[in-house]
Amino acid sequence: MSGRGGIARGPGPRSMEALRWLARVDVAGVEALGVALGFSRSVTYSHVARLEEAGLLVRAFAHGGSVVAITASGRRAVGADRAKLRAGATHGMGLRHARAISWVAALLTLRDRDWVSERAMRACDEWTVPVLWAAHRRAHRPSLGIVMRRGGMVAVEVELSHKSPRRFDAIMAGYELSIARGIIGGGLIYVSDRADVLAAVTRAALRSGVPESRFRARALDDVIQEARRGTSPAWPRPVTSERARGLG
């Protein structure tokens, strides 16, 4: 498709690059997508509009800003697997969680980290954490994973809701075992937009014996601000925290 003067209006190479990134996380905040690719605000929305017109993604307006989700046609266009979106990923708490994960993924992308999406982990047993909960052993996977350049893996959990101490303890016990066995030898990072959740998971980590050197808790706002500082000033936002540190 082209407009006046033969200027392409359909998705070009950079649009498809953005779509490939989106295919890894399924759902993302528009700003997080733009930040990850190094686009300005106007360029980001131009790519999103082209991809939307081509039926490769859908856009929605939600509290906290616009979000995009890749469609089945979009997944085919970039040669991704055709598994459906996780139920609830595009509304309510699922949407909040997906947006938060996209910000973590954006920061990891900007820092040139080799990261693994939760979707990719489904086909990789090494990211599975054993959790004994309600008398049943269940498979648990982190929200994202980081593969370190010198070897080793770091699990990243994005947790936006408060769970019971017993449940947090069960999850942490699983991570303690995986860390002790050297499976997730790089450790564990918890990210949340709630201070009480970060405090609760820190206490659970201590109770479960997760080594302090292998555990970190980070505020989601710090992650977002660090990602924003690493890209174009065309996404103007006030910096509210100077406590942000790298994700690994």
Angstrom distance (rounded) from CA 11 to CA 179: 43
Of 164, 165, 177, 245, the residue nearest 211 (C-alpha): 177
Question: Looking at residue 239, what is its pLDDT?
Answer: 31
Angstrom distance (rounded) from CA 10 to CA 12: 6
- 217 within 8 A of 232, measured Cβ to Cβ: no
Condensed to tens digits (0 to 9), the pLDDT of residues 80-121 reads: 877 666 544 555 677 899 999 999 999 999 999 999 999 899
Predicted TM-score of the model (pTM)? 0.86
Q: Across the chain, what does the average pLDDT equal? A: 85
Measured in residues, the chain has a length of 248
Angstrom distance (rounded) from CA 41 to CA 235: 6
Condensed to tens digits (0 to 9), the pLDDT of residues 42-79 reads: 999 999 999 999 999 999 887 778 899 999 999 999 98
- 35 within 8 A of 228, measured Cβ to Cβ: yes
Q: Where are the domains of the chain?
A: 1-95, 111-248
CATH of domain 1-95: 1.10.10.10
Region 11-20: what's the mean pLDDT?
95
Region 149-156: what's the mean pLDDT?
87
- Given a cut of 60, whether residue 5 has pLDDT beyond it is no
